[in-house]
Structure 1
Amino acid sequence: MANNNKNIVLNVPTLRFPEFGGEWKKCNLGDICSFFSGGTPSSSNKEYYDGVIPFIRSGEIHSKKTELFISEEGYRNSTTKMVQTGDLLMAIYGATSGDIAIGKIDGAINQAILCLRTVENKMFIKSVWQKHVNKILLTYLQGGQGNLSAEIVKKISINIPEYSKEQEKLASLMSLIDERISTQNKIIEDMRKLKSAIIKRIFSVEYLCQRRKILLSDISLKITKKNTDNKITNVLSNSANQGIVSQEIIFDREIANKENTSGYYIIKCGDFVYNPRKSTAAPYGPINKYEGSIDGIISPLYVCFSTQNINRNYLYWYFQSKAWYKYIYKNGDTGTRHDRVSIKDDIFFAMPLYIHNPVEQQSISKNLSKIELKITIEEHQLELLFQQKTYLLQQMFI
C-alpha cells in the first residue's frame, strides 16, 4: 500500500492501494443517494399485523429476521415503505441513531429507518459513514437529544474515489474485516451458550437434589465492619453484567461522596456481595465475588458476606446459576420499590444450597473458569479486530 505522508495537501487518504492515483472528489450524500423512510401501521387494528411482510425496526437492520410481520392491508393503509435486500438502511431515531447496515431481507420499514439508494458501492458508503458517524452524532444529537433525518443526512459531505475500482477494492477489504468480526462474535456467542448450558446442567434443581443440602449461614458470615474512619476510598458497586467493580466504571463518575462513606461495608478479595436490585440479566439481583487486590467499600444497601468451608470459586458459579432463584422468589418481595427485592438478612442467610462434594467443587470451578478465560481471550481478539477496522477507516478513507 502507498502512503501520503508528504506535506503536499492533496485530497487523498493517508494509506492507499498503490495501483490507484488522483485526488478524491468531494460531494454531499444527497448528490449520490436517494432517500426515503417508512411508517407504522396503526397498532389498534389487528388486521394490519400477523401477515407475511417482515416489518423491520431500527434495532433489526443487521438481522435476517424480524419480530413483527404486517399484512398487505397494513402496508396499503400506512406510510411504511418496502426495502430490498442490499439496500442501505440507517437508524435515525433513539439509542441506535447513526447505525447503518446493508439490508439482509426484503421488508417494510418504519419511520425510525432511512433507506439510502445509490449507484455507488454501498459497502464503501457504509464505511465512509462509519468513519464519521461519531462526529456527526455529536454535531446533530447533542447530549443524546434529537434525531437524524433525511434532510440532515443529505447535507453530510463525504469524499469518494474518482474510479469505481478503488471503491470496490476498499469495500472488499472492509467486507472481509466485517465478516471476520461477525465470525468472532459467533465464536463468543457459542462459547457463552456452552457455559450457560453447562451451568444449567450442573446446577439444575433435579441434579442438585441428589447433593448435600446446607444453608448459606452454614458456610458464611455476614460482613458488618464499616468504613467508620473514611480511610478506604475504593468505592465499589455490584453490577449484574460487570461484577463487583469500581463505581466509576459503571456510572462514569463517582456517586458516593468519599468523605462520607462511614456507613459503607468493607470487603476484601474473595468476599461475596448480593445486590437486591433486579434487572433483565439478574431478575432477583446478582450475587458476585469480589476479585480486587485491594480492600473496597460498598453501599449498606447490599448484603455482604465472607465464606468458609467451601470452594469460593465453586460458590461463585453456583450463584451464576438459577438454582437459588426460587427461594428468593418465595421469600422476598418488592417492598416499596418494584425494581428491588426486599428480603430480611436472617431469611437471606437461611437460603438452602445443594452442593457437590469438595472434589467435584474443585473440578467444576476449574473447568468453568477455563471456559470463562477462553471467552475473555476471544473478547480481547474481538477488540483487536475493531481497533484494526477503526485504524483502516481512519487511514484509508477521507
Structure 2
Amino acid sequence: MKSPKIRFKEFQNEWNSRILGDICEYKTSNLSNENIEKKGLYDLYDANGVIGKTNKNPQKENYITIIKDGSGVGRVRLLPKNSSFISTMCAFIGKNSTNFLYAVLQNFNFSSYINGATIPHIYFSDYKNAEIRIPNDIKEQEKIGEFFRKIDGILDLENSRFKKLENFKKTMLDKLFVKDGADEPQIRLGSFKGKWNSRILGDIFKERTERSAVGELLSVSILKGVTKFNELNRWDKSSQDKSNYKVVKKGDIAYNSMRMWQGASGLSKYDGIVSPAYTILEPCENTNSLFFSYMFKKDEMLYKFRIKSQGLTSDTWNLKYTNLKSIEVRIPSDIKEQEKIGEFFRKIDGILEFSQKKITKLENIKKYLLNKMFM
C-alpha cells in the first residue's frame, strides 16, 4: 500500500517515504521549570491543557512540543506562538505545514522509543531516522493539517464547555449548601426560606449491617460513586467466599472507609453486595440520600471526614460509622428542599456525562481518522 485508506478525492499520487528528521526542525530549551512563573507556563503535564502564557524566550510561530522525560513522556501538544516551553520538553517546527506535522506526530508511535526504567525518557536522536510516509503534494499536506486543526478546534470547544460546567457545579455546591458558621445557604432554589437545622449524621443515617453472599457485586470510587463491578473492565480480585460481604440497597450511600476523606462515596442505584471494606449508610425517615451524596463531596465535609478518620498516616486513615455518626451538618428543615437540591445536581451530572461521552466520541473519531489517513 502506497497511499492511505482514506484521503481527499482530488489527490491521487502515491505517498513518499521520508525520515521524521527531514520534515521538521528540532529545538531544545534551557529554560528551567523554576524560571517560569506558574501563571505563565504552558503546562503539558496538565491533561486539561494550557495554563497560561509567558513572555520569556517565546517562540515566534506556532510549534509542537513533546515531553522528553519524566511524567507524561511522549505527550505531544500544539502550542501557539509567543509562548515558551521548559527544559523537560523539546519543540518541533514544521518545515512545511505545522498543522500537518502535528497530525503526523499524533499518529506516530513514540512509545516504542521510550527508554529508562526509573525515569522514562525519549530523545530526538532515538527516533529522528524513523521512516514515515507523507504526501509529496504540499497542498495535500496542508489540507490534512487543516482538517485535523478543525477537529481539534471542535474538541477544544467541547472541553472548554465541559470545564465551565464543572466550575459551575463547583460554585453551586458552595452556594446551595450552608457554609460553616452560617444558618442559610447563599442561594435558594424555589421559594424555600428559613434557617437550616443542625443535625448529626447518626440521626440521618443508620448503618446497614446485613451480610450476604448473594447479589450483584458493586464497587465504589471517587469519580463514579457506586457502580456495577462488571462495568469497570477490571480483574475481579474479590474473595470467592463472599459470605461476609455487605448488603447494599437502592437509596443507600456506600463509602470506602479508608478513602471517605478523599470522596470515595456514592448513592447506590442498585441492590447488591460490596466488600466488607465499605460502610453502608441506610437513610432514616425524611432523608433524601441524593442530597447527601452531593453534600459528602464538598471540601468542608471531606475535611470533617478526614479529622474523624482514625489511623497514624493517610494510608491507614479509616472512618467507621461509629465516628461518622457524630459529625454535625446543617440541612433544610423541608425534605422538599433536599429533594430539589439533589435533583438540581443530578441534572448537572447528566449534562456532564453527556458532554464527556461526546468528547470521547470525538476523540475516537479523530483517532480512527489519524489511523486511516496516514500510513
Gaps of 5+ in 2: 186-193
Shift of 1:182: 0.4
Answering whether residue 239 of structure 2 is matched by residue 239 of structure 1, we say: no
Which of 149, 154, 168 matches 1:194? 168
Report the CA distance shift for 1:40/1:254 in structure 2 as closer, same or farther (over 3 A).
Answer: farther
State the aligned residue count: 361
Which residues of 2 match residues 105-116 of structure 1 at below 5 A? 105-116=81-92
Shift of 1:37: 2.7
CA distance in 1, matches of 2:108, 2:118: 17
Q: Which amino acid aligns with 1:168?
A: E
Match of residue 255 from structure 2: 274
Match of residue 244 from structure 2: 263
Which of 321, 327, 341 matches 2:298? 321
Answering whether residue 208 of structure 2 is matched by residue 223 of structure 1, we say: yes
Report the CA distance shift for 1:318/1:54 in structure 2 as closer, same or farther (over 3 A).
Answer: closer
Which of 148, 151, 160 matches 2:134? 160
Shift of 1:202: 0.9
Q: Which amino acid aligns with 1:63?
A: V
Shift of 1:225: 2.0
CA contact (8 A) 2:41 2:52 kept: no
Match of residue 131 from structure 1: 107
Report the CA distance shift for 1:330/1:13 in structure 2 as closer, same or farther (over 3 A).
Answer: closer
- Judge which range, 323-332 or 362-371, deviates more: 323-332
Report the CA distance shift for 1:354/1:54 in structure 2 as closer, same or farther (over 3 A).
Answer: closer
Report the CA distance shift for 1:256/1:246 in structure 2 as closer, same or farther (over 3 A).
Answer: same
Report the CA distance shift for 1:384/1:204 in structure 2 as closer, same or farther (over 3 A).
Answer: same
Specify the SS of the correspondent of 1:320: coil
Report the CA distance shift for 1:139/1:291 in structure 2 as closer, same or farther (over 3 A).
Answer: farther
Match of residue 6 from structure 2: 15
CA distance in 2, matches of 1:18, 1:144: 48
Answering whether residue 336 of structure 2 is matched by residue 372 of structure 1, we say: no
Report the CA distance shift for 1:345/1:54 in structure 2 as closer, same or farther (over 3 A).
Answer: closer
Specify the SS of the correspondent of 2:195: coil
Report the CA distance shift for 1:225/1:85 in structure 2 as closer, same or farther (over 3 A).
Answer: farther
| Pairwise CA RMSD | 3.2
Which residues of 2 match residues 296-335 of structure 1 at below 5 A? 296-298=273-275, 300-309=276-285, 310-333=287-310, 335=311
CA contact (8 A) 2:42 2:83 kept: yes
Query: For 1:44-70, what per-residue CA distance to the aligned partner results, in whole angstroms no more than 9, with x for missing partners?
Result: xxxxx477995655426952626x997
Report the CA distance shift for 1:82/1:156 in structure 2 as closer, same or farther (over 3 A).
Answer: farther
CA distance in 2, matches of 1:148, 1:50: 23
The normalised TM-score by structure 1 is 0.79
Identity %: 19
The normalised TM-score by structure 2 is 0.84
Shift of 1:247: 5.3
- Judge which range, 201-210 or 181-190, deviates more: 201-210
Gaps of 5+ in 1: 1-8, 44-48, 71-80
Q: Which amino acid aligns with 2:203?
A: D
